[in-house]
Structure 1
Amino acid sequence: MELLGISIVEWVGYAAMATVLISFLMKSVKNLRIVNSFGCFLFVIYGILLTPMSKPIIITNAAIFCINMYYLFKK
């Protein structure tokens, strides 16, 4: 399936890339971690959707997601 000549898988990758880039514009570290976590989640989905699956993309972004969650919920 394609939208504007670009596959849905690629759109997920572009959305992940844009979200991670936008996260670095945040002044608040908390907001940066929240937006970056969403981008990492999208990158994990993208890595899973690729054929074949891209384990480096999945592992790296899952790890960053976990680190962000740790610092967001650390008391």
Structure 2
Amino acid sequence: MEFLSIPLAEWVGYMASVVLLISFSMKSMTKLRIINSIGAILFVAYGILLATSWPIIITNTAILGINIYYLTKK
């Protein structure tokens, strides 16, 4: 599937990168972790769409887990 001649996987990767960059502009650590978690989820989806890129999936699953840990710890 393509949109504007760009494959879906690339769109998901671009969205994940933008969300990740936005997360680092947050002043609140809670907002940073929530938005960063959304980016991590998008990166996991991107890793799956790349015919299962395990380094991307494992790293972002770990980041998501760390974010969830600190969000629920409060």
TM-score (normalizing by structure 2) = 0.97
Identical amino acids, percent of aligned pairs: 64
Ranges of 4+ aligned residues in structure 1 off by more than 3 Å: none
Q: How far did 1:5 drift?
A: 1.0
Aligned to 2:71: 72
Whole-angstrom distance in 2 between the partners of 1:72 and 1:33: 7
1:11-65 per-residue CA deviation (whole Å, 9 max, x = no partner) reads 00000010001100000000000000000000001001102x1100000000000
Q: What is the aligned residue count?
A: 74
Alignment of 1:1-75 (within 5 A): 1-51=1-51, 53-75=52-74
For 1:25, what is the secondary structure of its paired residue?
A: coil
Whole-angstrom distance in 2 between the partners of 1:10 and 1:57: 14
RMSD across aligned positions (CA): 0.7
Whole-angstrom distance in 1 between the partners of 2:18 and 2:7: 17
